[in-house]
Homo-oligomer: A and B are copies of this chain.
């Protein structure tokens, strides 16, 4: 057992952070929030050149075969520097979905271009009900001629405006999980996109499929066999958003510590007041617990384990604790950080968005409750204990 990252991983994280912290100024980040695409294409290309876009793909697709933990460390660094990028849409969602479920032709078409930073791709899964359960999917994918027709409304589609294609989940039969994935080109007739405005700067879209038609080879994986892949996608997203939240928390704590050491009130640095010290210790406590849970989630998914329990724990914890941390950071800063030009606000907004993504805390606690009902044994730690003899 080893609950630390190794030297290579540490180096990766440090490199990623150093790059991310220099990639964009806070002013430029704020400016990007008002643009349609929400990210800086040049920066994304630089990230691709550093190997991050393809990090988790096998070498044959231009990747470096790294694990999900490595991707989590990159995402943590991006979160810590508040750098927007299409890494979720293109890598975490579409890229790994195509790697999991795509045909050889699809993989060869998309993955190398994604790795090179040439292709933006995304997925369209959630619908107006807002939940992540398969039963909420009402979009229909019906056979039509030599291909399929897609009808339905999707929300929270990341980077749809920049993507060349959207992998859309739809219902292809009557069973609850009779669901299928098809790739819809962004310019397909019958596809309408509308930008949503959301805290945190991610570029989220509504996508209305109104008799959008695609060819037979647009299907990803087996017809009716989409759900396990989508469930895995949700887990990956949740684990990585947990890591991003840790980065958000770390940046918020860092800002708070440096402010507390220099801001003088009542003739002392405010960081010398016990109240501020207790707040900071509490922030740090939650941050370190969150970090370990997030790393564990990414590592267990990356190792091909179920990872559902670990991911739900990580996302449930980080989704509550990191936004709370940003609130405390503001409480300590006071009015200065309430201004739009102080960088703390970036993290405040990103925490709102990240806690909501891929299932909020309540969603993941409900998922854990389901696991608890199904298999109590999994809640007794890494190596299940028997109860001592007097409780058997």
Contact = CB atoms under 8 A, between A and B. Distances in A.
Interface of A: 273-275, 277-278
Contacts of A277: 275
7 contacts: A273-B274, A274-B274, A274-B275, A275-B275, A275-B277, A275-B278, A278-B278
Interface of A is mostly: helix
A266 to B, nearest CB: 11
A212 to B, nearest CB: 35
Contacts of A275: 274-275, 277-278
Copies of this protein, total:
2
A274 B277 CA distance: 10
A79 to B, nearest CB: 30
A281 B277 CA distance: 17
Contacts of A278: 275, 278
Nearest to A275: B274
A121 to B, nearest CB: 39
A197 to B, nearest CB: 19
A278 B275 CA distance: 7
A232 B274 CA distance: 48
A214 to B, nearest CB: 41
Contacts of A273: 274
A6 B277 CA distance: 43
A206 to B, nearest CB: 22
A277 to B, nearest CB: 8
A265 to B, nearest CB: 12
A277 B274 CA distance: 10
A282 to B, nearest CB: 12
Nearest to A277: B275
A326 to B, nearest CB: 20
A275 B276 CA distance: 9
Contacts of A274: 273-275
Nearest to A276: B274
